[in-house]
Homo-oligomer: A and B are copies of this chain.
Amino acid sequence: MKNVTLKEAWTGHADCRNCAIRQGVLFAGLSQADFETVHRPVDQYRLREGDLIYREGDGGQYLYTIRGGLVKLVRYLPDGTQRIIRLLRSTDVTGLELMIGQAYGHTAVVLQPTELCRLPVDEIKRLSLANARLYQELMARWQRALGNAEHSITQFATGAARQRVARMLIWLVNENPDNRCHLFGREDVGALLGITTETASRTVAEFKRLGYVTEDRANSFVCDIPALQRLLDE
């Protein structure tokens, strides 16, 4: 988190007991009694596009659980360009590597307005040793992170550029009943899909011309999912 914005981004101590998405988050398994033993607060933040959550190599003390929005985990290549390893969205947890004493393995940057909770890793460690349900939740998060990474391999790093863009749009729409999604900058599209910014731009533009997507506001798209799906069977 940018230190300068930390204060403005802060939206309060989280009331985990009454968390609206509690059944989806890490603390799903914590009883009222367990909460009493949490000594350091869980803080909530609201972040804007471009905000930095943490930096690769930093030895932090916090895990983050995404309440809503979109975050990219990136790694920077020797030549300065970035590669997006995977994306995080609602109920994803990141920073798990701290649990085994490692530094953050990526740089985490906000792609779309995001709300998240910041969890002190030492409390999680302590609680997870005694609480079987939290332990289960942690393993499930790890497995989900793994699934997401594998999704990046099979869906975002495989096939022609057109197919990758189509898979990305389908993923972004994510069962949204109105088939709407918000897209991010073309450079990030390229870094996610392993293609150049120009190819990302060209492909999105082509989809617009073909009517596969309609842009109602800037970077707000309504997608013709069946049409995009058709691209994937070819």
Task: Determine if B145 and A153 form an interchain contact, defined as CB atoms under 8 angstroms apart.
Answer: no
Q: How far is the CB of A102 from chain B (nearest CB, A)?
A: 7
Which residues of the partner chain B approach A147 to less than 8 Å between Cβ atoms? 105
A207 interface contact, C-beta 8 A: no
Distance A13 CA – B153 CA, assembled complex (angstroms): 37
Segment at the B interface, from A29-37, A57-65, A128-136, A170-178: A128-136
Task: Determine if B97 and A143 form an interchain contact, defined as CB atoms under 8 angstroms apart.
Answer: yes
| A 116-153 contacts with B by CB, 8 A | 128-129, 132, 135-136, 138-140, 142-143, 145-147, 149-150, 152-153
Task: Determine if B78 and A233 form an interchain contact, defined as CB atoms under 8 angstroms apart.
Answer: yes
Task: Determine if B194 and A139 form an interchain contact, defined as CB atoms under 8 angstroms apart.
Answer: no
Distance A149 CA – B75 CA, assembled complex (angstroms): 14
Could you say which of B105, B140, B142, B157 contacts A139, with CB atoms under 8 Å apart? Answer: B142
Distance A135 CA – B102 CA, assembled complex (angstroms): 16
Which residues of the partner chain B approach A152 to less than 8 Å between Cβ atoms? 153
Interface size band for A: 20 to 34
Number of copies of this chain in the oligomer?
2
A73 nearest in chain B by CB position: B150
Q: How far is the CB of A53 from chain B (nearest CB, A)?
A: 18
Task: Determine if B143 and A96 form an interchain contact, defined as CB atoms under 8 angstroms apart.
Answer: yes
A201 interface contact, C-beta 8 A: no
Q: How far is the CB of A214 from chain B (nearest CB, A)?
A: 28
Distance A191 CA – B2 CA, assembled complex (angstroms): 41
Could you say which of B97, B105, B194 contacts A158, with CB atoms under 8 Å apart? Answer: B194
Which residues of the partner chain B approach A210 to less than 8 Å between Cβ atoms? none
A14 interface contact, C-beta 8 A: no
A157 nearest in chain B by CB position: B157
Distance A39 CA – B225 CA, assembled complex (angstroms): 51
Could you say which of B77, B78, B100, B136 contacts A100, with CB atoms under 8 Å apart? Answer: B136
A5 interface contact, C-beta 8 A: no
Distance A100 CA – B139 CA, assembled complex (angstroms): 7
A219 interface contact, C-beta 8 A: no
A89 interface contact, C-beta 8 A: no
A129 nearest in chain B by CB position: B132
The 3 closest A-B pairs by CB, nearest first: A149-B149, A157-B157, A142-B142
